[in-house]
Amino acid sequence: MTEISILKCSALIAEKNLKIAFAESATVGALSVAFGLTPYAGSIFLGSIVCYDADEKQTLLKIPKDLIDSFTPESSPVTYEMALSTKKLFKKADIIVAVTGLTKAGGSETEEKPVGTIFLSFIFEDRSVQIREIFEGNSHQIVQQTLAKVAEVIMDYLSKK
């Protein structure tokens, strides 16, 4: 099911002549793989940065340490900063997607932020969108639900353009 939504989303991005790039943490490159394996990859996909570790978020994407310390590596403010940094790196991108979250125990989970919590930040040409979701299941299922949500949000945005 997720593959079909990614395929439809990629086709819509291609139809609109847009480009996409990713900053991935919790999805560990799954967005890049999913979009990169569609027949539209050559015309829509610019690239991706995968920084799972908080130190790499600081090093590669220049996320301030105090922001990570204040909000945790898996948070909406950090995810938004990841998106902003990715937009600077992929200047031709019309759509930026950044994702952090908790697909398994051992991160910054709390009662208010349980395993399954995913933060998404989208930067489109004319606006940004931040989303917090709590998905159920094992790590693989949480990542698959995240990919489906990304496709849904992008298609919703593009269908209104």
* Chain segment 82-103, per-residue pLDDT in tens: 999 999 999 999 999 999 999 9
> Given a cut of 70, is residue 150 above it in pLDDT?
yes
SS3 category, 127: coil
**CA-wise closest residue to 133 among 160, 101, 109:** 101
Bridging pattern class, strands 95-101 and 117-123: antiparallel
pLDDT digits (tens, 9 = 90+) for 59-84: 999 999 999 999 999 999 999 999 99
DSSP conformation class of 92: T
pLDDT category, 125, cuts 50, 70, 90?
confident
pLDDT at residue 8 in the model: 97
> Given a cut of 90, is residue 9 above it in pLDDT?
yes
Q: What is the CATH number of domain 2-159?
A: 3.90.950.20
pLDDT at residue 96 in the model: 98
pLDDT at residue 1 in the model: 65
pLDDT category, 14, cuts 50, 70, 90?
very high
pTM listed for this prediction? 0.96
Q: Which of 26-35, 105-114, 120-129 has the lowest mean pLDDT?
A: 105-114
pLDDT at residue 108 in the model: 86
> Given a cut of 90, is residue 144 above it in pLDDT?
yes
SS3 category, 4: helix
d(CA 14, CA 81): 26
pLDDT at residue 146 in the model: 98
**Average of pLDDT values for 16-39?**
97
Domain boundaries, the chain: 2-159
